[in-house]
Amino acid sequence: MRWRVVGIVWLVCMSSWAQQYQLADILEDIYGQLAEYGIAMDDVAEQLMEIAENPIDLNQTNAEELGQLCWLTDEQIDDILLYQYQHAFVSVYDLQLIHSLKDYDIRNLLPFVEVKGDRLEVKGKDMYFREVFHYAKHEITLRADARNIEDYENDPMYGKLRYRFDYQKKVQAGLTICRPTGGAWEQMQYGAFVQLQDIGCIKNLSVGNFQANFGQGLVIGSPFKMGKNRWMSSGMNAREGVRKFTSVSDDYQAFHGIGTTLRWGWAEVSAMYSIDQQKDSVWHHLVGVNATAKWKKLKVGVTAIENIYSDSTDAQSVVGVNARYNWGKVDLWGEIAATQGKRWGWGGIVGMNFTPISDVNILALYRYYSPYFDNPYAYAFSEKSRLNDENGFYLGVDVRTFAKWRLAAYVDAFREGYDVMAQADFIPNMTYDMNWRVRARRQVDKDTYALRYRLVYRLHGWVFRTQINANIVKTDGWNYGISLLQDVEYHVPTLPIVLQMRAQAFDAREWNNRIYAYENDVLYAYSIPNVYGLGGRFWLNAQYKNNDTFSLYLRVSETIYQQAWAVEHNKNSTRTDVHALLRVKL
């Protein structure tokens, strides 16, 4: 225990240095597959970055707030809240006293939690609206990019202005104005929201851009639910209800209107209305409701939405029922939904979390989506980005019984093939850690076998990250892809400056062999680009923070392709991007 205490203290001191790389690893592990689907993950990354900027107070938090950290298991959340109730946290060092939290769990938690004061001192504090504007925090960010500068035929300039208003997380508002690359003034994108949260019976009231998530996501879901990864709880713990949407989006991830979730003891009721313009002059109206009841260990919910179009075509109704029941070490959950459009379709998902001992978690689930189940707002566990014409069985296990090792694996067998992954994490001490991952995947038109090795080393303000990715893909023949990258991060001791850089070499000459790797970017930006071809990629980040009031971020990246390959594939031999962001907090 003594050495663990020393290690945790040292790790807390290192947490500010390693925060970017912890966030990078989490985003890449959990959401890497979503990048392959083409789903915009800016809002997901921004949520985690906002939590890192405004950490969760361990003495004031609850299960729903901790559930936003979707790598935490239900047992770990319960243990944190039990410790809060019995003792109250004095400092983040107390996390080491929670048996279900291993050293690497605490390392992943540190950037997102803090201890402000005793639980009894803050509980029951009233909110007075006359104080809202007086004590609120304001944040303004201005971003300007020059993307693919060598492409002279298109305007490379991208711009975003972002304003945020926050009063104790209870009253929040935001405005985002975005100019996409190559866009004229009439193509400017706008987004705004106002959110009230945890005020009386109002769990959440969002006006403007918002998201909604209920059950397992077959009627209305969040991208958190999709994809497969080693974090066993990542889909199951996504927060239910209505919440703000902070990015600018024209896809099915965001609604535009008003939504609310009201809470009375064991019951919650949600209602929402959204309106947006589809192609030409067709307007789309969406009306949705949800009713959820909780009684002891049982939770049951009913969700329904109605899609109405101004041209009276393609109207669609979706209704679903979801349930969840905890039976000691077993957590059972599921949802069934039906869509009624031109044809009836239905889908269902049922699963079980089993924790035979505190350090072993087993997840099993089965899903079936009929060929005519067609709901663009559904985000649930799936092999494909669209939930229809699919059925499969998934079995995953996460083992944390060994002091320095974490082992995870899953097998997903579906009608068109299979997907198998195994990963081992080795954390011998607080100075370095490494992991290995192997994956085999069979789809209709190809077989993919991939390997990844990652090493992170920390020493006196320096962080080094080495990663090797390799794959072989069989289509008509066999092709390979390989990437070697080295990251270096340095915190200048006497100045509020952080420098980050990467050098990457890759040889993945076919599109099917493309390789994804998360990249640090400017604040509130999410970047997990794919590289393919033959060449190298380099980027440099510089961050300057002055007393948490003024921050400046600058990023320069360049991709260089072999001349012969670039000519053969009709691409420029180089691509240069420059990102700059200024933030002011008041």
Q: Which residues contact 40 (CB under 8 A, 6 or more apart)?
A: 247, 249, 251, 253
Contact, 528 vs 35, CB < 8 A? Answer: yes
* Tens digit of each residue's pLDDT (9 = 90 or more) over 316-360: 899 999 999 988 889 899 999 999 877 889 999 999 989 888 788
The fraction of the chain above a pLDDT of 90, given in percent, is 40
Contact, 427 vs 104, CB < 8 A? Answer: yes
What's the mean pLDDT in 538-554? 90
pLDDT at 247: 77
Rounded to whole angstroms, the Cα distance separating 378 from 345 reads 13
Confidence of residue 382 (pLDDT cuts 50, 70, 90): confident
pLDDT at 4: 46
Q: Tell whether the model's pLDDT for residue 7 goes beyond 60.
A: no
Who has greater pLDDT, 270 or 495? Answer: 270
287 forms beta bridges with 273, 306
382 forms beta bridges with none
Structure tokens that stand for 556 in this block:
């320069």
Q: Tell whether the model's pLDDT for residue 10 goes beyond 50.
A: no
pLDDT at 75: 79
Confidence of residue 233 (pLDDT cuts 50, 70, 90): low
pLDDT at 501: 95
* Tens digit of each residue's pLDDT (9 = 90 or more) over 234-259: 445 556 888 888 877 656 678 999 99
Confidence of residue 6 (pLDDT cuts 50, 70, 90): very low
What's the mean pLDDT in 61-68? 82
What's the mean pLDDT in 535-557? 91
Contact, 254 vs 273, CB < 8 A? Answer: no
The fraction of the chain above a pLDDT of 70, given in percent, is 85
Among 158-172, 175-189, 195-209, 239-253, the least confident range: 239-253
* Tens digit of each residue's pLDDT (9 = 90 or more) over 303-325: 999 988 877 667 789 999 999 99
pLDDT at 53: 77
Q: Tell whether the model's pLDDT for residue 186 goes beyond 70.
A: no
Q: Tell whether the model's pLDDT for residue 36 goes beyond 80.
A: no
Confidence of residue 417 (pLDDT cuts 50, 70, 90): very high
Q: Tell whether the model's pLDDT for residue 18 goes beyond 50.
A: no
Phi then psi for 224, rounded to 5 degrees?
A: -55, -30
Rounded to whole angstroms, the Cα distance separating 17 from 25 reads 14
pLDDT at 170: 87
Confidence of residue 12 (pLDDT cuts 50, 70, 90): very low
pLDDT at 357: 84
Q: Hey, what long-range contacts does 20-25 have (CB within 8 A, 24 or more apart)?
A: 20/489, 20/498, 20/500, 20/520, 21/456, 21/463, 21/465, 21/487, 21/489, 22/107, 22/108, 22/110, 22/111, 23/48, 23/49, 23/52, 23/111, 24/518, 24/519, 24/520, 25/454, 25/456, 25/518
Q: Tell whether the model's pLDDT for residue 160 goes beyond 50.
A: yes
Contact, 508 vs 530, CB < 8 A? Answer: no
Among 31-35, 200-204, 482-486, 501-505, the least confident range: 31-35
Confidence of residue 124 (pLDDT cuts 50, 70, 90): very low
pLDDT at 50: 78
Q: Tell whether the model's pLDDT for residue 574 goes beyond 50.
A: yes
Rounded to whole angstroms, the Cα distance separating 500 from 543 reads 9
Q: Tell whether the model's pLDDT for residue 119 goes beyond 60.
A: no
